[in-house]
Amino acid sequence: MIRAENVTKRFEDIVAVDHITAEIKEGNVFGLIGTNGSGKSTFLRMVSGILKPDEGSITIDGEGVWENPSVKSRFFYISDDQYFFSNGTPEELKLFYACIYPGFDQKRFYHLLGSFGLKKDRKISAFSKGMKKQLSVICGLCAGTDYLFCDETFDGLDPVMRQTVKSLFANDMAERNLTPIIASHNLRELEDICDHVGLLHRGGILLSKDLDEMKLNLHKIQCVLKPGMKAEDLKALDIVKTEQSGSIYTLTVRGEEKEITNWMESYDPLFFEMIPLSLEEIFISETEVAGYDIKSLIL
């Protein structure tokens, strides 16, 4: 488990991370969402032990990260601003990481390299942005660590490759309980993979919740009510948001699905159905309750 308690990081007069407290459980995908400059990269660098917090503490399974090689050997960090050796090749990168991570799976490395169509002896400097991201992901998975920190890892990957990487993450989670922490400015990229999502804004966590909890308590209904009836007449429902197109209402309602269904049936509408909510819709509803407009926070 990763635990951050009251973590703060300043760069001169800029507060990049402002008193963040968060808990990341093992075996889950934690999505760190926020616009550019919200503190995502700074937070990941502190979790990785690259930066030292000015205040607060960060621990992995009870041990401090800063200047602790034994803890650092348990995670792999994929930076948004990647660095590779000058004139280096994937083969040389593999040899480097095999020295740092004793459990580095060289057989799997060559297999994935071939599957992704990357040549082991080609200079990395000649790779495209997407190819470099693919190589970093391959190295991260083959390192065999308990945790994988990804900063905008899907940025630069085409849609097919994104799904491939997500499938690899899911496979390692099932087989060896890998815990990925993925920072992104795009909610849609994380919608089908995250278990828990934290929303960063101006260096602080605005919202941090399990997706299952949010999905169980928030529902979307499309309905056509009886003539003369309006959405405001559905007083038994805790309606968070109402949209109307002609006679069709689209309602975002808070509460348990069974109870909501029973109330809707009692109003005897002409038609109604429950529609799955997207991650973006869930966050819009949750942040509006907190007094924020997520559309101005997330791209």
Q: What is the pLDDT of residue 171?
A: 94
- Give the three-state DSSP class for 247: coil
Q: Which of 266, 222, 259 is nearest to 238 (CA)?
A: 259
Confidence of residue 283 (pLDDT cuts 50, 70, 90): confident
Q: What is the pLDDT of residue 49?
A: 94
H or E, element range at 32: strand 30-33
Would you put residue 203 in left (φ > 0), alpha (ψ -120 to 50) or beta? left
Give the model confidence (pLDDT) of 20-46 as tens digits: 898 888 888 999 887 777 888 999 999
The mean per-residue pLDDT over the stretch 177-204 comes to 84
Phi, psi of 12 (to 5 degrees): 55, -115
| pLDDT for residue 292 is more than 60 | no
| pLDDT for residue 8 is more than 70 | yes
**What stretches of the chain show up as alpha helix (H) in DSSP?**
40-47, 69-72, 90-100, 106-115, 129-142, 159-176, 187-190, 211-217, 257-266, 279-289
Q: What is the pLDDT of residue 56?
A: 94
Q: For the chain, give the percent of residues with pLDDT over 70.
A: 95
Number of C-alpha atoms within 13 angstroms, CB side, residue 290?
A: 15
CB 59 within 8 A of CB 16: no
Confidence of residue 73 (pLDDT cuts 50, 70, 90): very high
Q: What is the pLDDT of residue 287?
A: 64
The mean per-residue pLDDT over the stretch 226-237 comes to 94
Side chain identity at 277, as an amino acid letter?
L
CB 54 within 8 A of CB 240: no
| pLDDT for residue 299 is more than 50 | no
Min mean pLDDT across 71-75, 84-88, 100-104, 225-229 is at: 84-88
Q: Which residues in 253-292 are b (16+ Cβ under 10 Å) and which e?
A: bbbeeeebeebbeebebeebeeeebebbbbbbbbbeeeeb
Mean pLDDT, the chain, rounded, equals: 89
Strand partners, 222: 250, 273
The mean per-residue pLDDT over the stretch 2-18 comes to 92
| pLDDT for residue 70 is more than 50 | yes
Confidence of residue 289 (pLDDT cuts 50, 70, 90): low
In this structure, are strands 238-245 and 30-33 parallel, antiparallel, or unpaired? Answer: unpaired
| pLDDT for residue 294 is more than 60 | no
Confidence of residue 215 (pLDDT cuts 50, 70, 90): confident
* CA 160-188-152 angle, 5° bins: 75
Give the model confidence (pLDDT) of 244-272 as tens digits: 999 999 999 988 889 999 999 999 999 99
Phi, psi of 283 (to 5 degrees): -70, -35
Max Cα separation, the chain? 73
CB 68 within 8 A of CB 57: no
The mean per-residue pLDDT over the stretch 222-228 comes to 95
Q: What is the pLDDT of residue 37?
A: 79
Give the model confidence (pLDDT) of 147-176 as tens digits: 999 998 888 788 899 999 999 999 999 999
Side chain identity at 61, as an amino acid letter?
D
* CA 130-131-134 angle, 5° bins: 90
* CA 194-211-182 angle, 5° bins: 25
Q: What is the DSSP string of 142-181?
A: HTT-SEEEEESTTTT--HHHHHHHHHHHHHHHHHH--EEE
pTM across the whole model: 0.80
